C-alpha cells in the first residue's frame, strides 16, 4: 500500500547519501589568511533566485530573520541563476552572482564572509558556490576568511525537521485523513538527488499519505501519481518543497497546461489543491538555515 517494497532499498540509499555528504562536509569549510584590519563578518545569502514578484516575500522573510539574528552584520544577496539575473536586469534590477558579490565585499574591505546557501540540497549549485566563494579566501590581499554553510537538507535530523514543519505549518488545516499531501521537490542530475528519495521515505514513515515527487529527478511525478492512484486518493494538496513558490510552483505544479501536476492528477480523477507558498515563508524553515549560518559565523571568529 505504501512504499514498503522499496523501504529497505531507500533506507540504504538514505544512509549512503548521508555518508557521502558527511564525508564532504565534515566541518564547515573555511579558508583563510593572517588577520588584518577588520570590518565585522558580512553575510552573503545565496539562492537560485526568482523573477516571480509574489515569490519575493519568501526572500524578504529570510532577510528579516537573518538581520535579526546577526544585527551587526552586513547582509547581501546573490543569485546563482544567470537566466534569472539577466531577466531581472531587463527590468532594471541588478542582482549579483556569488562571485560578483564576493568581489564587491572584498573590494569594500570585508575580511570575513559567511556564505549561506539557501538551496534545499547540496547539489551542483551549492558545490559551485562552495568552491568559488572559498577562492576569495585564498587571494592575496583578499578576504581573510570565508565560511560556507550548508543548505537545508543535510542529515536525517534536518529532513525530519523540515517535514515536520511542512506537515504542521504548511499543510492546510482543512486537510482530512485520506487526502494526500504531495511535496514537489526540484530534483537534479547531481548525485544529491538521492536526498529526495530519502525524504520520500521519511515522509511516508511520518504520514502514509504524504509523498515527495520531483520536477527533474527522482522520485518522478509519474511514480507518485501511480501511487496516488493505487492508494485510491481522491484529493491531494500540492506543496512546493522549494525556497520560493516561483516558476516551478506556478507552472509545473499548479499550471493549466496539460502536463502540470494539477492537470495530470485531474485526468486521473484526483482533485488537487495547490498551496502557493515557498518554504522560506515559514519561520521554522528559515531558522534551520540560520542554525547553519551560526555554525559558519562561529568558524569566522
Distance, CA of 149 to CA of 27 (rounded, Å) = 9
Query: 265 φ, ψ to 5°?
Result: -70, -40
DSSP labels for 164-225? HHIIIIIS-TTPPTT-EEEEEE---SSGGGHHHHHHHHHHHHH-TTEEEEESSSSSBHHHHH
Q: Give the residue ranges of DSSP H helices in the chain.
A: 7-24, 56-69, 82-90, 98-107, 124-135, 156-165, 194-206, 221-230, 247, 261-267, 283-300
Return the half-sphere exposure (C-beta side, CA atoms, 13 A cut-off) of residue 103. 6
SS3 66: helix
Q: Is the N-terminal amide bond of 219 cis, ω within 30° of 0?
A: yes
Residues identified as active-site: 186
Amino acid at each position: 500500500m505504501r512504499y514498503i517494497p522499496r523501504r529497505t532499498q531507500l533506507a540504504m540509499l538514505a544512509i549512503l547519501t548521508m555518508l557521502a555528504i558527511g564525508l564532504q562536509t565534515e566541518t564547515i569549510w573555511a579558508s583563510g589568511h593572517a588577520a588584518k584590519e577588520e570590518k565585522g563578518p558580512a553575510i552573503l545569502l545565496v539562492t537560485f533566485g526568482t523573477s516571480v514578484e509574489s515569490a519575493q516575500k519568501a526572500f524578504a522573510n529570510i532577510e528579516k530573520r537573518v538581520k535579526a539574528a546577526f544585527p551587526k552584520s552586513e547582509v547581501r544577496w546573490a543569485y546563482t541563476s544567470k537566466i534569472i539575473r539577466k531577466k531581472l536586469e531587463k527590468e532594471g534590477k541588478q542582482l549579483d552572482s556569488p562571485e560578483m558579490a564576493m568581489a564587491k565585499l572584498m573590494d569594500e574591505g570585508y575580511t570575513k564572509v559567511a556564505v549561506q546557501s539557501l538551496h534545499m540540497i547540496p547539489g551542483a549549485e551549492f558545490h559551485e558556490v562552495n568552491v568559488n566563494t572559498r577562492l576569495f579566501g585564498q587571494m592575496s590581499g583578499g578576504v581573510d576568511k570565508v565560511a560556507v554553510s550548508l543548505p537545508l537538507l543535510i542529515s536525517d535530523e534536518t529532513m525530519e525537521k523540515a517535514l515536520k514543519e511542512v506537515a504542521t505549518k504548511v499543510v492546510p488545516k482543512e486537510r482530512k485523513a485520506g487526502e494526500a499531501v504531495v511535496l514537489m521537490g526540484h530534483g537534479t542530475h547531481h548525485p544529491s538527488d538521492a536526498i529526495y528519495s530519502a525524504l520520500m521515505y521519511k515522509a511516508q514513515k511520518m504520514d502514509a499519505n504524504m509523498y515527495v515527487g520531483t520536477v527533474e529527478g527522482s522520485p518522478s511525478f509519474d511514480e507518485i501519481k501511480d501511487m496516488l492512484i493505487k492508494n485510491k486518493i481522491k484529493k491531494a494538496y500540492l506543496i512546493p518543497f522549494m525556497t520560493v513558490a516561483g516558476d516551478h510552483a506556478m507552472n509545473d505544479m499548479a499550471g493549466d497546461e496539460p502536463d502540470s501536476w494539477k492537470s495530470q492528477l485531474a485526468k486521473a480523477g484526483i482533485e488537487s489543491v495547490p498551496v502557493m507558498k515557498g518554504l522560506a515563508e515559514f519561520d521554522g524553515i528559515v531558522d534551520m538555515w540560520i542554525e547553519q549560518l551560526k555554525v559558519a559565523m562561529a568558524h569566522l571568529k
